[in-house]
């Protein structure tokens, strides 16, 4: 993990001149606050000063892994961001209030509530806020709120994608459409290997999303370094990533940039056992008629059970590495 922390530090340093966050005028922040947003004081100060801010999602805390591993991971990721010169902004909806940045107590509350917090994608935002519910933001909702707040970089474990057999079910994550219309750079360990990665990349191409492999010509597959799918763009240095992100924003392409960072070789779970576990978990999900937003948590939990915890160990590492 140390070598990847160094890479993250370098990436942050190179992004600072291009700004990981927009320099927002006070009136813009006040407008968001008048709309009911709550911006954590350190995040607010950084946004006003044009200092780097990194957005973090909250679904990975509530639905991605059990307590207390989820809280340990959330705190570790925030620590890594701080150590590398940026301000972490974990995003969530608390009692109907969109929060850009959470306190330590709020992080713990989400971790302990777990799946009792509503998994909130873009489509769910209006409902969760209007009903004054607690919502853990997925990639799509986190991107939406980050863009509203002027945060341009978002680190997470992995994105959603086209589900296997998606040609029949039309089950496609809203993460992909959000990447096509929201100018935020998403740094992650690729697409979850429980998904259809070739179709996911085809869909991202249709959406006009710049997909970059960091130090690799192959798109990473979340638990494993290789997916068998080539990436259209490769960047071998942090400055290379920063230049792609900066150019996309300067051209006002109005789409996201997806940078896939492979999990370190010594932490990657062996591919074959995980692939076998995925096939079995997929069959079980179909037999049990599990669909929609329930599919991914079921598959991840089942794959973790079938691999004796190897996939969970990989999952815990991914947000910090990204």
- Strands 87-94 and 135-137 turn out to be antiparallel
In 10 A of CB 72, how many CB atoms?
13
Catalytic residues: 57, 192
Question: Going by C-beta distance under 8 Å and a sequence separation of 6 or more, which residues neighbour residue 107?
Answer: 61, 71, 74, 75, 78, 90
Q: Using the 8-state DSSP alphabet, how is residue 234 labeled?
A: E
Nearest to 301 by CA among 321, 270, 277: 277
How far is 270 from 264, CA to CA, in rounded Å? 12
Give the DSSP H or E segment for 104: helix 104-113
**What secondary structure does DSSP assign to 113-137, as a single string?**
HGGGSEEE-GGGHHHHHHTT--EEE
Torsion angle, alpha carbons of 181, 183, 187, 188, to 10: -10
- E strand or H helix at 140, and its extent? helix 139-149
Provide the 8-state DSSP code for 265.
T
Q: How far apart are CA 215 and CA 69, in angstroms?
A: 29
- DSSP H helices, 262-309, are 271-287, 295-306
DSSP state of 308: T
CA distance 145 to 136: 12
């Amino acid at each position: 993990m140390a070598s990847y922390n160094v890479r993250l530090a370098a990436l942050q340093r190179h992004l600072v001149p291009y700004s990981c966050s927009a320099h927002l005028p006070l009136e813009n922040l006040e407008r968001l606050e008048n709309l009911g947003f709550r911006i954590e004081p350190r995040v607010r100060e950084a946004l006003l000063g044009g200092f780097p801010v990194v957005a973090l999602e909250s679904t990975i805390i509530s639905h991605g892994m059990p307590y207390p591993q989820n809280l340990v991971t959330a705190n570790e990721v925030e620590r890594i961001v701080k150590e590398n010169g940026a301000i972490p902004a974990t995003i969530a909806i608390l009692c109907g209030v969109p929060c850009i940045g959470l306190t330590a107590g709020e992080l713990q509350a989400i971790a302990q509530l777990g799946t009792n917090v509503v998994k909130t994608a873009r489509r769910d935002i209006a409902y969760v806020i209007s009903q004054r519910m607690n919502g853990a933001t997925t990639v799509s909702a986190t991107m939406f709120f980050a863009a509203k707040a002027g945060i341009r970089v978002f680190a997470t474990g992995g994105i959603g994608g086209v589900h296997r057999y998606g040609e029949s079910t039309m089950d496609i994550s809203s993460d992909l459409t959000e990447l096509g219309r929201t100018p935020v750079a998403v740094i992650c360990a690729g697409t979850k290997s429980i998904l259809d990665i070739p179709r996911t990349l085809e869909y991202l191409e249709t959406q006009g999303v710049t997909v970059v492999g960091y130090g690799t010509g192959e798109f990473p597959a979340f638990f494993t370094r290789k997916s068998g799918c080539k990436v259209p763009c490769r960047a071998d240095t942090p400055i290379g990533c920063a230049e792609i992100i900066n150019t996309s924003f300067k051209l006002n392409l109005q789409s996201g940039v997806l940078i896939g960072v492979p999990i370190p070789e010594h932490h990657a779970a062996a591919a074959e056992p995980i692939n076998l576990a995925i096939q079995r978990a997929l069959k079980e999900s179909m037999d049990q008629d599990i669909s929609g937003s329930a599919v991914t948590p079921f598959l991840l939990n089942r794959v973790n059970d079938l691999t004796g915890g190897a996939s969970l160990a990989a999952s815990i590492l991914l947000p910090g590495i990204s």
